[in-house]
Amino acid sequence: MFGYMTTDYNTVEMKEEKEVEAEGDDLMGLLFHFLDEWLFVFSADAFFIPRKIVITEFDKENFKIKSIGYGEEFDIKKHPQGTEVKAITYSNMQIYDKEGQHEVFVIIDI
């Protein structure tokens, strides 16, 4: 998602950190809210763009997740502007969580 927001992700330095928590009613809801919370951090919290996000807690039974993002404030002079991400969608969302295969597919509204 953040790779769409800047065309050169390597320009993002890990100067600050932000914490994000999310909950859902199922795995898809959890994924949606997790991504939506990170999008909110970018949109409402001084345009914070993480270079790295670390999952610190993941409760698969109760559908809760905690994470820390390491990055900095988005600066158009430093970070080449990419495409604005408007929203996360449930459209065609897929989660593969089998032994040896853990993948997610999410369509974002740009």
Q: How many domains does the chain have?
A: 1
Q: Please give the structure tokens belonging to residue 76.
A: 């158009």
Give the residue-averaged pLDDT of 79-100. Answer: 91
Q: What is the pLDDT of residues 24-39, one digit of tens each?
A: 999 999 999 999 999 9
Give the residue-averaged pLDDT of 37-66. Answer: 94
CA distances from 29 to 8, 34, 63, 77 (A): 30, 8, 8, 36
Q: Please give the structure tokens belonging to residue 24.
A: 């859902």
pLDDT level of residue 45 (50, 70, 90 thresholds): low
Helix (H, G, I), strand (E, B) or coil at 37: helix
Counting residues of the chain whose pLDDT is more than 90, the rounded percentage is 74
What pLDDT shows up at residue 28? 95
CATH code of the domain in which 103 resides: 3.55.10.10
Looking at residue 4, its amino acid is Y
Structural domain for 33, as ranges: 1-109
